[in-house]
Chain A
Amino acid sequence: MRTVFNKTLLKIAKKDERIFLVLADIGYGEIEPFAKAFPDRYFNVGVAEQNMTDIACGLAMEGNIAVTYSIANFPTLRCLEQIRNDVCYHNVNVKIVIIGGGLAYGALGVSHQSTEDLAIMRALPDMVVVAPADFTEAEAATYAMVKHPGPVYYRCGYKKEPRLHKGKIDFKIGKAIQARAGGDITLIGTGTITYRVYQAAELLVKDGIQARVLSMHTVKPIDKEAILKAADETRGIITVEEHNIIGGLGGAVAEVLAEGGVGVPFKRIGLPDTYVHIVGSHDWLLDRFGFSPESIAQVAKNLLKCRQ
């Protein structure tokens, strides 16, 4: 997905001279085409994420669109105050892109796991939070991110994620995309984990359950309409996110449901509120922490049973 992002950004930058790419010495094998095409709009600030963010902010203060890019928590938590006080408070056109959300860099250890980003980023005023599910969404999200005036946080996958959407999509910030129709239960995913959510929905068919799958690629602003519609039309809602169970997609959906006054069985699937120090590959860790399609399907069956 990161390759899709970088290629798309390059394509946009060819037409839009306001685009700058500001890096903190991360991006090997991906960012070189941009650096070569636009040496005067490309800066590697060295290993200095606070400086990266504020340079981007200064560029954006002057009417440009500045993209910061790094892996996991480096461009977010390391420079959170720069994002808050400088980027968000001044509401400037800085786009913060991370590669490898959740446990994508699992075996590298906790420092490289971005598992609180959705909660923290969505708490910042004026920040838009997007997490595309597949290549198609990643490309569309890149265009949407540039078009949106103001700060955007973009959680990007890092490898060849499977395709969720078969055909064309209508990607709009703040509007969920239905990846599968269904009237029994609604499974909501965000980011690359959504493919596993889709697989879970396919497994549920043999139990006679038709699950609706929503790709909630925008965690903020959250699509209240799609959530309340799901609450009205299906018998349960489950959120699935590669993120701490606290404050991310599940939290955002819970807020909508609670304030919407709808009583629908609801369950969040996420990482437990602890650090993942167990060593393993991305896929192995996902299975280990309850994100296998089978586990997700089981949670769905249990939720529907509670209802009966």
Chain B
Amino acid sequence: MDKDEGYRKLAAKIRAHAVMMTNLRHSGHLGSSLSEADLLIVLFEKILRLDSKNSDWPKRDRFILSKGHAAAGVYGIMAEKGFFPKDWLKTYYCDDGKLCGHISHHVPGVEFSTGSLGHGLPVALGMALAAKHTGAKHRIFVLMSDGDCNEGSTWEAIMFAAQHKLDNLIAIVDYNKIQALGKAEEIINLEPFAKKLKDFGWAVKEIDGHNFRQIEQALSVIPFEKSRPSFVIAHTVKGKGIGYLENTVASHYRCVEDEKLSATYKELGVEYEDGI
């Protein structure tokens, strides 16, 4: 078996969970959960030092999902990793459910609630400063979206992180290049993205965010450069894994309709009889 086979199978499962969850109550943001899925797999399988049975473990890495709307993807991997029962996934968006549409710290193992963009990176700065202050060795990871990088507060944080040499901080942008109303380049063009970030004092890596080898290699040694915060621009595809949704603005809003469910699971390569 090819060594990425395990990753691939888990990624398909996470995507299937997201399809099921968003289909349940016809909620949105599926495309964002699909684009981040491969990044999440490597993070939770290989990179993040977490303990699902002791989610408050002080030495844990801190992981903040700043693109809080892509909660379905994170809930899927967290359920698979045993932070909470898989049954909870079926309660996403439901009355008296366990999981709301934007990520919530009321869910075991979730570090921070977000939902409005531009909050994750600034909060991570405070956590990074606190770790530096005590000499703690854990790292602070923030998974962001391209929309996140429209927010002024994100750029306030980008400037501060470099100024204070926060090399225990890692920002990853799930750069799927489509935001709520269209293509990022036609709304707020982030390019030349890597150059901007380097000019702002960050150590930057650009990778294919669906290539497990590249993701793993990029994140295996942190910091990328001593005394600099690390930034990963992960080129991804919005709606990745479901052909008709890929690279569409609609994937930000629409779920997979009932009649397309079984074909979608087939396309993802998972057997998904009862949803779990």
A residues near B (Cβ < 8 Å) are 40-41, 43, 45-46, 48, 50-51, 53-64, 66, 81-82, 85-86, 89-90
Contacts and interface: CB of A to CB of B under 8 A. Distances in A.
What 3 A-B pairs come out closest when comparing CB atoms?
A58-B126, A54-B122, A62-B130
B128 interface: yes
A51 B156 contact: yes
B133 A54 contact: no
A66 B115 CA distance: 23
A46 B160 contact: yes
A41 B130 contact: no
B122 A81 contact: no
19 contacts: A40-B133, A46-B156, A46-B159, A48-B159, A50-B152, A51-B160, A54-B123, A54-B153, A58-B122, A58-B124, A59-B127, A60-B126, A61-B126, A61-B130, A62-B126, A62-B130, A66-B126, A85-B114, A90-B112
Nearest to A48: B156
Contacts of A85: 113-116, 119
Contacts of A57: 122-123, 126
Nearest to A79: B153
B157 A51 contact: yes
A85 B123 CA distance: 11
B129 interface: yes
A113 B115 CA distance: 31
A55 B153 CA distance: 11
Given A50-B156, A55-B126, 8 more contacts: A40-B133, A41-B133, A51-B157, A54-B125, A54-B153, A56-B126, A58-B130, A81-B119
Contacts of B126: 54-62, 66
B260 interface: no
Given A45-B156, A62-B131, A51 B119 contact: no
Nearest to A84: B116
Contacts of A43: 129, 164
B119 A82 contact: yes
Interface in B83-138: 105, 112-116, 118-119, 122-131, 133
Nearest to A54: B122
A63 B129 CA distance: 12
Interface in B205-249: none
Interface string B169-209: 00000000000000000000000000000000000000000
A58 B105 contact: no
A58 to B, nearest CB: 2
A54 B119 contact: yes
Nearest to A50: B153
Nearest to A81: B116
A57 B122 CA distance: 9
